[in-house]
């Protein structure tokens, strides 16, 4: 694999999070945290009677803890709070890699896999801090603008945390890597960059006319 895919790496914390293609692996916490923080959603994996489930949800991080939340009755939260092993994966898709050969087509991406067990956040301060960071994860500045949760809403919301300890990142960047023999082919090769983009905010039809959209809604991408 080519040099542009290599990353500085330290020893992985476990055989379970070791990435097979080592030149794409990264076990550095700063890299892992940056990917976790940029991704708006994660996919949580858990198993029930041997059947895995993968559920998309929003997450947010405070230091070495990832937080997810939901109604206590959801299957995801019911299973997670039982202490079962979980896997939280986030993926940022950065580009489509078009090689000259079908075989070497790929994607540029940054992904993180976190293995662990979830803990119910019982402490009221930690719970409120987690909900704050989840709302702020959607848009920085939103927490102070909106009505914060009242006691009834807090009771209807469960927050769980997973320690970011057994984790790995996988990153692919750069152009396609074709076989030398294919470079003479009459086939265009390159990367189509992809990103999640925001368009103009759509006001709630019930919005009072005097209220204008905040900067983080009008200039969402710039404000992140």
Please report, as residue ranges, which positions from 40 to 79 form the binding site for its own copies (by CB under 8 A).
Answer: 40-41, 43-47, 50-56, 58, 73-75
Measure the CA–CA gap between 28 and 21, rounded to whole angstroms: 16
Q: Report the site for its own copies in 2-41 (rule: CB under 8 A).
A: 16, 20, 40-41
Minimum Å gap between C-beta 161 and its own copies is 17
Of 147, 151, 209, 222, which lies in the binding site for its own copies, with binding defined by CB under 8 A? 147
* Contact partners, residue 26, CB within 8 Å, separation at least 6: 7, 8, 9, 32, 168, 169, 170, 171
Tell me how far CA of residue 120 lies from CA of 70, 163, 214, 221, in angstroms. 12, 12, 33, 33
- Any idea what the Cα angle at residue 11 is, between residues 30 and 3, rounded to 5°? 75
Residue 135 lies near its own copies (rule: CB under 8 A): yes
Minimum Å gap between C-beta 176 and its own copies is 6
Contact criterion met (CB below 8 Å) for 12 and 21: no
Minimum Å gap between C-beta 123 and its own copies is 18
Q: How many residues bind its own copies (CB under 8 A)?
A: 92
Residue 1 lies near its own copies (rule: CB under 8 A): no
Residue 182 lies near its own copies (rule: CB under 8 A): yes
Residue 129 lies near its own copies (rule: CB under 8 A): no
Measure the CA–CA gap between 72 and 120, rounded to whole angstroms: 11
């Amino acid at each position: 694999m080519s040099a542009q895919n290599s990353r500085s790496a330290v020893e992985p914390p476990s055989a379970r999070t070791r990435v097979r293609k080592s030149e794409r692996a990264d076990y550095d916490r700063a890299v892992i945290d940056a990917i976790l923080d940029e991704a708006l959603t994660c996919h949580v994996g858990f198993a029930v009677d041997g059947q895995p489930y993968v559920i998309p949800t929003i997450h947010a991080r405070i230091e070495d803890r990832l937080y997810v939340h939901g109604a206590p009755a959801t299957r995801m939260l019911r299973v997670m709070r039982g202490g079962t092993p979980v896997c939280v994966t986030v993926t940022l898709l950065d580009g489509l890699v078009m090689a000259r050969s079908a075989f070497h087509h790929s994607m540029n991406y940054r992904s993180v896999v976190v293995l662990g067990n979830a803990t119910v956040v019982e402490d009221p301060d930690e719970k409120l801090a987690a909900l704050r960071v989840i709302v702020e994860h959607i848009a920085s500045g939103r927490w102070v603008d909106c009505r914060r949760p009242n006691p009834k809403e807090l009771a209807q919301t469960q927050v769980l945390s997973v320690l970011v300890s057994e984790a790995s990142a996988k990153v692919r960047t750069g152009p396609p890597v074709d076989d030398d023999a294919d470079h003479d082919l009459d086939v265009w090769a390159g990367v189509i960059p992809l990103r999640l983009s925001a368009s103009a905010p759509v006001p709630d039809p019930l919005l009072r006319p005097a209220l204008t959209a905040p900067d983080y809604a009008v200039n969402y991408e710039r404000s992140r």
